[in-house]
Amino acid sequence: MKSCFSVLIALFVTSCFLLEGSSHLLGRKPSKLTKVLGFSWQNCGKPDDPANLKSLDISPDPIPIPGRLTADAKGTTSVELASPLSVNVTVEREVAGMWVKIPCLDEIGSCHYPNVCDLLNQLIPPPQDCPEPLHTYGLPCHCPFKAGDYALPSSEIDIPDVELPGWLTNGHYRVEGILGSTGKELGCLKISFSLHSSKN
């Protein structure tokens, strides 16, 4: 999961919801076999937002944790994405037919990250090379992200063996990430998925 900002916008939901969680949870003893089913995504920003995800294909379905997935993505930004780059993440779980917001606990859940550029520098300290597959395709993993088009060709990504937060139980979830800078919205991405875990 440390390929945060893999391609432009897929970066912020995944990086702050899953990547940040993984960084806190690495080293804990895994106790479950987990599968992510029915992953889907959509842009949720304004028509004039400068940052947009054009395509994102992930397989297999279900996605195993731990395991390996194949992903390809394309995104674009008409402006440079530079520090401070904020992300506001909202995580909801379906309970009895209603969507319930999950609070921010230990920097995981519905959290506001004032500057993900600093977070990236902590996870991948410069001048360390960007992790694969970013390094192979010359994709950046630190701010600033220059204006232009970004593409990740079909690549295999290993998902680490980590224990997910206790509140992340079986069920249906949706996650919205809003990317911003100096009070202005730059882009918005919404993902939904179902989670199924079973004891080893």
Structure tokens at 138: 């010359």
- pLDDT for res 20: 38
For the chain, the structural domain boundaries read 10-199
The CA distance from 95 to 100, in Å, is 7
Amino acid at 34: T
From the list 144, 160, 153, the residue with the least C-alpha distance to 6 is 153
Pairing of strands 98-101, 67-77: unpaired
- pLDDT for res 32: 61
Return the CATH number of 10-199, one of 2.30.40.10, 2.40.50.140, 3.40.50.11540, 2.70.220.10.
2.70.220.10
CA atoms within 13 Å, Cβ hemisphere of 38: 9
- Within 93-137, where are the H helices? 116-123
Taking the model in full, what pTM does it have?
Answer: 0.83
pLDDT digits (tens, 9 = 90+) for 131-187: 888 888 888 888 999 999 998 899 888 877 766 677 778 899 999 999 999 889 999
Outline where DSSP puts E strands in 6-147.
32-43, 51-59, 63-65, 67-77, 86-95, 98-101, 112-113
- Cβ distance 75 to 31 under 8 Å? no
DSSP at 30? P
Q: What would the 3-class secondary structure string for 62-89 be?
A: CEEECEEEEEEEEEEECCCECCCCEEEE
pLDDT digits (tens, 9 = 90+) for 40-63: 999 998 999 999 989 988 899 998
- pLDDT for res 180: 93
pLDDT band at residue 9, thresholds of 50, 70 and 90? very low
From the list 73, 72, 101, the residue with the least C-alpha distance to 89 is 101
